[in-house]
C-alpha cells in the first residue's frame, strides 16, 4: 500500500508560502515534489553562456561575481547595489534597490568578487546592457548551514529544477531535501517487482530519488535516472498489457469481404492504381474486419500518402457486409472536405436511392453542428435508417441524438484532436463494439507508436502516390525587407500562372494579444501553434514585435504594390461554417487565389492548384505542424514552394527545427528529428492525453531498447497476474501515473 507520507499536502510540511509557489508548478504533495526531477545538473566552474540570453527570458544563470558595489542615488533618493557577473567573456549586471544603503550590505557581503553563484530573474536592458533586477540567487559554498556542509555542497553536481519566478531552482532543491531526508524505505513503496530490481541490478525507489536529488557525483544522478526511466517504461507497458488482456474478451460483428460489392466497384473505377502499400495495408484491415475480435488499428501515412482511399475501401467492406461506417473529423472544414472527397471517389456509388445512382449504391451523410434544421433531420434519418452507409461528421456525430442502424466501423481522423471521452462515445454504443481505425497524418516513429499506442496494430503508408511534385522549402529572415519583397513578388508570379497560394498566420486578429486563439469546439479546436512543439525560451523572438494575424496580414498584403490587383481571401475558425465553405470555394476556383488563414487548413484540405505556401512567424509552430501545413501544397504534378518567414536566430532549437524542415520532406525523418530536439522526454504530455501525469524521463527513440525490454517483462507479468492482485504497489502506480483518462487514451489512440 502506498505510504500516506507521499500523499501529505506540502502546506503541512513546507508552509503555505512555499507550497503555494510549488502548486503553480503542479506540485502539491510530498509525492509530487520528490517526483519533480531536476531538468539538468550544473557544476561549479561550469558557466552559463551569457551571450545567448534574450530579452524577456526568465533565466537561471551560473556565473562568477566580478564586482559588487553599493552607492547612493542622488536623483531619486535611496541606494542601489550594482553587481557584475561574468561567464569568463560576457557580463551581466545585477541591480538591487533599497531606501537605505544598509539594507543592501548583506547582498554586497555575499556577492564578493571571485564567488560563483546561481542567479534567477527576467532578462532586461538598461542603457544597452543586459541586466537582472532584484534577482534571486544562491552563492555556491556559502549558502549552507556549516563550513563542512558548504565544502560538500560546493563539490556536488547542482540540480537545476524546472522552476518559476515565484520558486527558483535552489528553493525547490531545499524543499525537496526537507521532505526527502526523513523518508524511509517503508515510506516509499516500490512499484517495480523485487525480482526485476534484482535481475537488473537497480536501486530501490527511495535510493533512486536520493541519487537524482542529492547526487555526490555525476554517476550518481545518472544511475538514479536510469532506474526511474526503467520504472516509467515498466508502469506504462504494464498498463498497456493489462488493456490488451481485457481486450481479448470483447467481440464485434465480423464484416467479411463481399465479392462484386461496392468495394470492388470502387476499385474498378478509381482513376489511379493503388500503391503496393495501399494494397498490403488494405489486406490487413480487411482481415481484421472479418474477425469477431474488434479491430484496433492505427493507420499512419505521411502527407499525401493515400490514407483516405484505404479508409474508404474499409468502410465499403463494412457497408457490403450490411453495416455502417462513421468517419469522425476534428473540424467542420475537414469533415466537409472528407465528404466531398468520398463522393468524388465514389461517384454514382454514393447516390443510393437517387436518380442515376448505381445498383446497390449507398449514401454519404454529413452531420455537423452548424447544419440547418432540415438538413440535420435528413442526415439523422439516413443514419438511423441505414440509408447512409457512411456518415461523416465532427463532434456533432457523438451526440446521443445520433443513432445508427448497425454501426460496424468507426474511423477517427487526426485522433490527437479529440478528447478521450469523445473518441470513446461511438465505440461504447451498442451490444457489440464496432471495429476502429485510427488515422494520423503525423508520422510516428516505431518506438513512439509502441510507447503511445501500445497494443494497436500499426499500419504505415510510406509511398507517395505517383504524379505528386516535390516541395522546395526555404527560410526567409523576417527582418530582411528585400527577401520579404521578393516573397510577395513570387506570390504574384504563382497567381499569374493560374495557381493558388496559402499564407498562414498564427493569430486571428491583432486583439489576440496573448498569441494564437483557438476556435469553437465544433469548428476548429486546434487552430493554434502546437504548445508542445515550442520552446519559448529558445525561440529568441523580439517581444516588441507582435505575432502576425490573419486580419492584419490581409490588410498588409492588400496594400503591398507587389500584389496589386490580386484578390486576397481570409479563413479562420471564428467564421461561420457557410463563410468557411464560401472562402474555400472562392480559393479553389481562383476567384481569390491567395488565402490568408490560421492552421484551420492544416490537415485534409485539398486544392491541387495550390503550389505555394508562406508561413509567417514560422518559429511559433513545431516540426510536425509545419510539415502538415506544407502538405497543403504539392498535391499535383506542379512544382511547389514553401517559404518559412522567421525571426529565429542561428543556434536556437527553433532555428534547428526550421532548418530540419527545409532539409527534407520525409515526415518520418522529421518526426524522429523533432523528438531528438525536444529537451523534455514527455512522450505523453497532458495536452495529448488530458491527464495530469506525464512521462518525465523516458525518451521514445533514445530508450527504445529499454521500452522493448519493459514491454516483454510487463506482458509476462500480466500473463501470470492479469489483475495485479499480487503486485498491489504496481497496481497503485498504474492507477496514479496512468489515470483512467490516460489509460483510455493509450488503449484507443
For the stretch 338-377, pLDDT in tens is 898 899 899 999 988 787 778 889 999 999 888 888 989 9
Q: What local confidence, expressed as pLDDT, does residue 518 receive?
A: 34
Domain check: are 440 and 479 in the same one? no
Q: What single DSSP character describes residue 700?
A: T
Residues 126 and 53 in one domain: yes
Question: Residue 38 falls within a domain, yes or no?
Answer: no
In a domain, 82, yes or no: yes
733: helix, strand or coil: helix
Q: Among 26-30, 131-135, 677-681, which is the least confidently predicted range?
A: 677-681
Residue 378 has pLDDT above 90, yes or no: yes
Give the pLDDT mean for 104-114: 89
Mean pLDDT, residues 98-121 taken together = 86
Q: What is the predicted pLDDT for the residue at 604?
A: 54
What is the chain's mean pLDDT, rounded? 82
Which sign does the torsion angle of CA 743, 433, 399, 325 carry? positive
Going by C-beta distance under 8 Å and a sequence separation of 6 or more, which residues neighbour residue 694? 682, 684, 685, 686
261, pLDDT greater than 90: yes
Model confidence at 123: pLDDT above 70: yes
Please check the confidence at residue 302 and state whether its pLDDT lies above 80. no
Query: Interhelix angle for 307-320 vs 262-269, to 10°?
Result: 150
- Among 156, 187, 214, identify where a domain stops: 156
Tens digits of per-residue pLDDT, 17-57? 889 989 988 899 999 999 999 988 877 667 888 888 888 87
- Is the pLDDT at 734 greater than 60? The verdict is yes
Which of the pair, 681 or 396, is modelled with greater confidence?
A: 396
As a whole number of angstroms, the distance between CA 569 and CA 730 comes to: 56
CA 581 to chain centre: 28
- Return the CATH number at 105: 2.40.50.140
For 431-446, write each residue's pLDDT tens digit.
Answer: 788 998 988 776 666 6
Question: What pLDDT is attached to residue 447?
Answer: 58
Reply yes or no on whether the pLDDT at 596 is more than 70. Answer: yes
Tally the domains of the chain: 3
Q: Which domain holds residue 343?
A: 262-461
Share of the chain above pLDDT 70, in %: 82
Q: Name residues whose C-beta falls within 8 Å of residue 18's C-beta, 6 or more positions apart in sequence.
A: 10, 167, 171, 175
Could you tell me the pLDDT band of residue 152, with boundaries at 50, 70 and 90? low
Query: Three cell numbers at 562?
Result: 507587389
Look-up of cell digits 526511466: 229
Binned at pLDDT 50, 70 and 90, residue 148 comes out as low
pTM above 0.85, yes or no: no
Is 311 in the same domain as 421? yes
State the pLDDT at residue 193: 94
Q: Are 258 and 323 a contacting pair, CB within 8 Å?
A: no
- Is the pLDDT at 178 greater than 50, yes or no? yes
Lowest mean pLDDT among 255-259, 435-439, 609-613, 745-749: 745-749
Higher pLDDT, 629 or 612: 612
| Residue 568 and residue 510 share a domain | yes
Characterize 116-149 residue by residue with b for buried, 16 or more Cβ atoms within 10 angstroms of its Cβ, and e for exposed.
Answer: bbbbbbebeeeeeebbbeebbbbbbbbbbeeeee
448 and 525 fall within a common domain: no
Lowest-confidence range among 64-78, 281-295, 378-392? 64-78
Using only C-alpha atoms, the chain has a radius of gyration, in whole angstroms, of 29
Q: Regarding predicted confidence, which is higher, 632 or 258? A: 258
621 within some domain: yes
Within a domain: residue 218? no
Examine the pLDDT at 233 and tell me if it is beyond 60: yes
Going from the C-alpha of 95 to that of each of 66, 123, 142, 627, 669, the distances in angstroms are: 14, 11, 20, 44, 47
Element (H, E) at 233: helix 218-247
Label residue 226 by pLDDT band (50, 70, 90): very high
**Residue 180 is assigned to a structural domain of this protein:** no
Do 452 and 336 share a structural domain? yes
Q: Indicate if 433 and 477 belong to the same structural domain.
A: no
Q: Is residue 71 part of a domain?
A: yes
For 591, 592, 598, 633, the CA distances from 566, given in Å and listed in that order, are 10, 8, 20, 19
pLDDT for 539 equals: 35
Average pLDDT of span 146-160: 65
Reply yes or no on whether the pLDDT at 132 is more than 70.
yes
At 481 the three-state DSSP class reads helix
Task: Judge whether 66 and 47 are in contact, CB under 8 Å.
Answer: no
**Per-residue model confidence (pLDDT) at position 455:** 56
| pLDDT for the residue 192 | 94
Q: What is the pLDDT of residue 494?
A: 96
The three-class DSSP label of residue 156 is: coil
- What average pLDDT does the segment 516-543 reach? 35
> Which of these three, 461, 480, 502, is where a domain ends?
461
Whether 399 and 477 share a structural domain: no
Whether residue 465 has pLDDT greater than 90: no
- pLDDT at residue 57 in the model: 77
Largest CA distance in the chain: 95
Do 441 and 517 fall into the same domain? Answer: no
The reported pLDDT for the residue numbered 231 is 94
Q: What is the pLDDT of residue 549?
A: 92
Q: What is the mean pLDDT of residues 377-403?
A: 89
The domain that contains 615 carries what CATH number? 3.40.50.300
Sheet containing strand 500-504, strands side by side: 471-477, 640-646, 610-615, 500-504, 594-597, 568-571
Q: Give the pLDDT band (50/70/90) at residue 287.
A: very high
Is residue 389 domain-shared with residue 439, that is, in the same domain? yes
What was the pLDDT predicted at 691? 36
Residues of the chain above pLDDT 90, percent: 40
455 lies in the same domain as 594: no
| pLDDT(692) > 60 | no
Query: Domain boundary residue among 107, 127, 156?
Result: 156
Q: Does the residue 2 lie in any domain?
A: no
Establish if 126 belongs to a structural domain.
yes
501 against 412, higher pLDDT: 501
The larger pLDDT score, comparing residue 89 to residue 696, is at: 89
- The string of pLDDT tens digits covering residues 313-333 is 999 999 999 999 999 988 887
Q: Are residues 395 and 331 in the same domain?
A: yes
pLDDT at residue 550 in the model:
94
Half-sphere exposure of 450 (CA within 13 A, CB side): 18
- Between CA 639 and CA 470 the distance in angstroms is 7
Q: Which of 83-87, 218-222, 247-251 is the least confident region?
A: 247-251
Amino acid at each position: 500500500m502506498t505510504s500516506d507520507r507521499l500523499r501529505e499536502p506540502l502546506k503541512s510540511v513546507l508552509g503555505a508560502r512555499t507550497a503555494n509557489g510549488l502548486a503553480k508548478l503542479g506540485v502539491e504533495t510530498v509525492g509530487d515534489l520528490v517526483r519533480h526531477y531536476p531538468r539538468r545538473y550544473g557544476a561549479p566552474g561550469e558557466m552559463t553562456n551569457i551571450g545567448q540570453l534574450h530579452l524577456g527570458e526568465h533565466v537561471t544563470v551560473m556565473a562568477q561575481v566580478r564586482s559588487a558595489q553599493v552607492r547612493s542615488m542622488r536623483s531619486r533618493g535611496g541606494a542601489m547595489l550594482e553587481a557584475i557577473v561574468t561567464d569568463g567573456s560576457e557580463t551581466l549586471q545585477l541591480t538591487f534597490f533599497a531606501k537605505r544603503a544598509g539594507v543592501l550590505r548583506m547582498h554586497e557581503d555575499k556577492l564578493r568578487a571571485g564567488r560563483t553563484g546561481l542567479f534567477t530573474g527576467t532578462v532586461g536592458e538598461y542603457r544597452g546592457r543586459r541586466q537582472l533586477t532584484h534577482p534571486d540567487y544562491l552563492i555556491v559554498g556559502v549558502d549552507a548551514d556549516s563550513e563542512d556542509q558548504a565544502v560538500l555542497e560546493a563539490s556536488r553536481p547542482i540540480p537545476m529544477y524546472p522552476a518559476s519566478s515565484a520558486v527558483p531552482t535552489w528553493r525547490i532543491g531545499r524543499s525537496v531535501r526537507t521532505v526527502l531526508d526523513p523518508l524511509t524505505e517503508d515510506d516509499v513503496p516500490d512499484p517495480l517487482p523485487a525480482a526485476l530490481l534484482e535481475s537488473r541490478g537497480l536501486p530501490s525507489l527511495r535510493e533512486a530519488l536520493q541519487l537524482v536529488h542529492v547526487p555526490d557525483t555525476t554517476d550518481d544522478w545518472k544511475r538514479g535516472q536510469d532506474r526511474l526511466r526503467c520504472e516509467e517504461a515498466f508502469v506504462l507497458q504494464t498498463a498497456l498489457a493489462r488493456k490488451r488482456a481485457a481486450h481479448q474478451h470483447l467481440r464485434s460483428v465480423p464484416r467479411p469481404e463481399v465479392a462484386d460489392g461496392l468495394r470492388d466497384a470502387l476499385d474498378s473505377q478509381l482513376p489511379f492504381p493503388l500503391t503496393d502499400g495501399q494494397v498490403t495495408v488494405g489486406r490487413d484491415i480487411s482481415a481484421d474486419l472479418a474477425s469477431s475480435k474488434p479491430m484496433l488499428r492505427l493507420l499512419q501515412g505521411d502527407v499525401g500518402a493515400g490514407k483516405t482511399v484505404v479508409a474508404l475501401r474499409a468502410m465499403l467492406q463494412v457497408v457490403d457486409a450490411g453495416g455502417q461506417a462513421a468517419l469522425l473529423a476534428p473540424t467542420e472544414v475537414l469533415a466537409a472536405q472528407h465528404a466531398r472527397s468520398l463522393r468524388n471517389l465514389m461517384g454514382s456509388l454514393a447516390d443510393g436511392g437517387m436518380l442515376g445512382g448505381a445498383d446497390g449504391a449507398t449514401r454519404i451523410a454529413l452531420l455537423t453542428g452548424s447544419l440547418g434544421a432540415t438538413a440535420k433531420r435528413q442526415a439523422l434519418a439516413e443514419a438511423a435508417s441505414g440509408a447512409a452507409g457512411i456518415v461523416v461528421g465532427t463532434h456533432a456525430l457523438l451526440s446521443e441524438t445520433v443513432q445508427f442502424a448497425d454501426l460496424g466501423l468507426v474511423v477517427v481522423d487526426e485522433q490527437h484532436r479529440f478528447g478521450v471521452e469523445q473518441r470513446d462515445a461511438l465505440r461504447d454504443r451498442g451490444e457489440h463494439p464496432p471495429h476502429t481505425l485510427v488515422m494520423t497524418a503525423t508520422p510516428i516513429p516505431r518506438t513512439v507508436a509502441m510507447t503511445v499506442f501500445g497494443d494497436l496494430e500499426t499500419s504505415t503508408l510510406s509511398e507517395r502516390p505517383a504524379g505528386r511534385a516535390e516541395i522546395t522549402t526555404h527560410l526567409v529572415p523576417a527582418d530582411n525587407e528585400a527577401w520579404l519583397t521578393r516573397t510577395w513578388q513570387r506570390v504574384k508570379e504563382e497567381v499569374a500562372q493560374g495557381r493558388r497560394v496559402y499564407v498562414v498566420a498564427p493569430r486571428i486578429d491583432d486583439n489576440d494579444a496573448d498569441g494564437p486563439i483557438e476556435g469553437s469546439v465544433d469548428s476548429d479546436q486546434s487552430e493554434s501553434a502546437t504548445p508542445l512543439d515550442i520552446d519559448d525560451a529558445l525561440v529568441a523572438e523580439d517581444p516588441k514585435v507582435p505575432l502576425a494575424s490573419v486580419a492584419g496580414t490581409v490588410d498588409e498584403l492588400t496594400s503591398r504594390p507587389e500584389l496589386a490587383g490580386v484578390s486576397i481571401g481570409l479563413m479562420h475558425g471564428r467564421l461561420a461554417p457557410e463563410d468557411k465553405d464560401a472562402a474555400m470555394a472562392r480559393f479553389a476556383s481562383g476567384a481569390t487565389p491567395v488565402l490568408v488563414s490560421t492552421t484551420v487548413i492544416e490537415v485534409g484540405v485539398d486544392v491541387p492548384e495550390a503550389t505555394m505556401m508562406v508561413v509567417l512567424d514560422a518559429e511559433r509552430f513545431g516540426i510536425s505542424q509545419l510539415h502538415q501545413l506544407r502538405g497543403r501544397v504539392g498535391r499535383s504534378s506542379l512544382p511547389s514552394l514553401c517559404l518559412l518567414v522567421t525571426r529565429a536566430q542561428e543556434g536556437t532549437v527553433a532555428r534547428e527545427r526550421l532548418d530540419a524542415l527545409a532539409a527534407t520532406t520525409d515526415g518520418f525523418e522529421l518526426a524522429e528529428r523533432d523528438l531528438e530536439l525536444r529537451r523534455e522526454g514527455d512522450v505523453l504530455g497532458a495536452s495529448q492525453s488530458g491527464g495530469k501525469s506525464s512521462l518525465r524521463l523516458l525518451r521514445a527513440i533514445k530508450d527504445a531498447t529499454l521500452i522493448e525490454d519493459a514491454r516483454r517483462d510487463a506482458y509476462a507479468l500480466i500473463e501470470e497476474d492479469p489483475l495485479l492482485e499480487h503486485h498491489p504497489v504496481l497496481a497503485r502506480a498504474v492507477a496514479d501515473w496512468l489515470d483512467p483518462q490516460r489509460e483510455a487514451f493509450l488503449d484507443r489512440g
